[in-house]
Amino acid sequence: MNIIWNKTYGQFHLYNDSISYIIGTAPGGELTNLYFGKRIHAADDMSYVIFRMGMPNVAVDADTESYSMELNRQEYPSFGTTDFGTQAYEIEMSNGSRVSSFVYKSHTIFPGKKQINGLPATYAKDEEAMTLEVELCDEVAQASLVLSYTIFDRYPVIARHAVFTNRGNTRIKLTRAMSCCLDLPDQDYEWMQFTGAWARERIPETRKLGTGTTSIESKRGTSSANQNPFIIIKRPHTDDFAGEAIGFSFVYSGNFLAAAEGGTHGRLRILMGIHPDRFTWPLDKGDSFETPEVIIAATDKGLNDLSQTYHMLYNNHLVRGKWKNEPRPILNNNWEATFMDFTEEDILRIASKAKEAGVELFVLDDGWFGERNDDFAGLGDWVENPEKLPQGMSGLARKINAMGLKFGFWIEPEMVNPNSNLYRRHPDWVLATPGRKSSLGRHQLVLDFSRPEVVDHIYNMLFKVMSDAPISYIKWDMNRSLTEVFSMDASSEEQGTVYHRYVMGVYSLYSRLIEAFPDILFESCSSGGNRFDAGMLYYAPQAWCSDNTDAIDRIRIQYGSSYGYPIVSIGSHVSAVPNQQTGRSVSISTRANVAYFGTFGYELDLNELSDEEFAEVKDQIAFMKKYRDLIQFGRFYRLRSPFETDQAAWMVVSEDRSRAVVGFYCMRSNVNTLPGFLKLAGLDPDRQYSMEGEKYYGDELMNMGITLMRFYKEGFTISEDHASFVTVLEAV
């Protein structure tokens, strides 16, 4: 990795073994993008790619009238100075003007990477990355703008964000502050987004790009289940195994916008950042605003390679603490077994059976606190219910520890029920617009986490429960979108800061709890996958993938999640049947075969199973313990898409290519068809592998494939609805 500054021509070249990113200065001093893509040996002067021609346009260089921003690629464009595309930022000055022009002033190049104040971000040691910070200034606005670029040594990745600072004496207002813009020279791309809703999250959708704007967004206060803050643009013929693609992942958990704008002169502009709607950030003298980070990754080897880049980068440079690259404990959660109707005796009985099966962690879900017997009451009152826990959380935790199990519990700290002691004492602590009714979601309101005193109060309550008991795990839920967003504590000019300050408050509470309890494994949850984003991985290294635990639907959800997020981050459990969400009954074998490819656990009462099923559960847990390091941290390949066929398949391969685990799923049977072959990936072509007692060469398995006839057995066929198999390959 390296960053070269060519002072003569005013150009930067960021590169490693895989990619090059080249930035120049335009005639007026603005930054322009000269190249981004596969590593090249760049000329000393790359300004020959700048387009200069007399055309029917407006020129920013008045002397020659030959350079227009509209015709050239910008690094961080504004509107109103000959670029008529979507802008990356906007500043409103005291006189009402919204025209800005930031020009090059200075730069700094240094090893490693700085943290972003109060926000999640990737990190790197000095030998693992290089960072370029370019300072630009607008003399009229009396403001500075620092654009930050980090290139990693091992990954085809650029991390970007921006910092605005008011250098003058007059207040200015930031009304738009995207984290990155990338202008590309052509529009021959397809756009991939990951869309859905509650219980059907992160479903890939692809469309052709061209002239005009394609965008996704969230204005829900969370990154949302509806649109994930991760997109891919790819060449039309790119698939999982070959072709060019660029990914954009937003390390943030609130409102966002991701857009692709095709101009009429052929340029393609990609923007990602905080959604500008209902965003205004006043800056007084000396005040700064830092945007969250966007991770841009590139490949010319297909979408599996792009996904593997994000998996490895996030496992090694985003997840922190004790659980970084650590296999996750196999857990049993009581939610679908008892819901809120339980006693301590019920919980101990379920936990005892879980221990017998080989489970390592027991999790107590909703209903343990306040007057919480249903959804209508108790949220906000984080004190143990003595009727359910007569010796408190500490007493239950110690009894479960005595069984040989670790213990954790569920919280939803951002919410409050109107029927709660907290709300009765502090009705002004919720997000609510004066004079207007408040919407309810799951019978709850949203606490105003933009206010430090609210965060302090929740922290103190949770700290007491957590410090009194031996806790190993916390499931942090968040079950509704933000509405009527208004803070009783903010002035009229500060209301545009509330959405972002809310997210900063969430991050602050996470940080304080992690600092106080560094060994606890946090799992984020937001009605399942409503806040499944890179920002949360910085605090909680795994996320409950979806409230939909139906194995067949989960194939699609986990498949879509794998494009941008590590397998070890995907919370996946075996749940009871008929399934709570779909009513579908699927064999416990297939339920486990899907759940293996994630954190793995059980969302049911194992006492309810037959002896035969319980014996199978014990075998499943033994299998996962044997192979979880490989499954959770190996190189993941998507093999067959459940969105294109009635079958799905994926596999994980060890870094040395000596072992692999393959999962295959028949979602819907087809009559009178041959079983066919499944081509594998990532193996050593010249090594032999043992599979199901037979030996095959790697090139045979990758080019011809596994004959699926191999998995026909008496009384079982992979062509049956909901049938599946998982098989292991070991190098001979």
Extended beta strands in 338-491, E state: 361-364, 406-411, 415-416, 445-446, 473-476
Place of tokens 């300050």: 501
Query: Rounded CA gap, 628 and 472, in Å?
Result: 19
Could you tell me the two tokens for 173?
Answer: 């207002």
> How big, in percent rounded to 5, are the helix, strand and coil portions of the chain?
25, 30, 45
- Residue 281: strand pairing partners: 174
| CB 631 within 8 Å of CB 601 | no
Could you tell me the two tokens for 308?
Answer: 């593997």
- Residue 2: strand pairing partners: 15
Active site residue 629: no
Going by the DSSP 8-state scheme, the letter that residue 435 receives in this structure is: T
Query: Rounded CA gap, 161 and 248, in Å?
Result: 12
Q: Tell me how long the chain is.
A: 732
Query: Rounded CA gap, 473 and 467, in Å?
Result: 13
Query: Rounded CA gap, 130 and 169, in Å?
Result: 34
Q: Which of 618, 620, 629 is nearest to 567 (CA)?
A: 629
SS (H, E, C) 250-280: EECCCCEEEEEEECCCCCEEEEEEECCCCCC
Give burial (CB, 10 Å; 0-12/13-18/19+) of 687: middle
At 283, the amino acid letter reads: L
| 664 phi/psi in degrees, rounded to 5 | -130, 140
SS (H, E, C) 531-579: CCCHHHHCCCCEEECCCCCCHHHHHHHHHHHCCCCCHHHEECCEECCCC
Active site residue 183: no
The H-or-E segment that residue 458 falls in is helix 452-468
Residues in contact with 104: Cβ distance below 8 Å, sequence separation at least 6, in sequence order: 10, 25, 29, 30, 31, 134, 135, 136
SS3 of 228, please?
A: coil
Could you tell me the two tokens for 421?
Answer: 């002691």
Could you tell me the two tokens for 14?
Answer: 């960021």
Extended beta strands in 319-477, E state: 331-333, 361-364, 406-411, 415-416, 445-446, 473-476
The H-or-E segment that residue 642 falls in is none
SS3 of 608, please?
A: helix
Q: 643-658: string of b/e by CB count within 10 Å (b at 16+)?
A: eeeebbbbbbbbeebb
Cis peptide before 111 (omega within 30 of 0): no
Which residue in the list 305, 448, 477, 553 is annotated as catalytic? 477
Phi-psi category of residue 454: left, alpha or beta, with phi > 0 → left and psi -120 to 50 → alpha: alpha
Query: Rounded CA gap, 126 and 120, in Å?
Result: 19
Residues in contact with 648: Cβ distance below 8 Å, sequence separation at least 6, in sequence order: 555, 556, 559, 640, 641, 642, 664, 665, 667
Could you tell me the two tokens for 506?
Answer: 């969430």
Place of tokens 């008045």: 62
Which residue in the list 305, 547, 550, 605 is annotated as catalytic? 547
| CB 176 within 8 Å of CB 228 | no
Tell me how many degrees the CA angle 161-69-79 measures, rounded to the nearest 5.
60
Query: Rounded CA gap, 55 and 264, in Å?
Result: 14
SS3 of 193, please?
A: strand
Q: Which residues are catalytic?
A: 477, 547
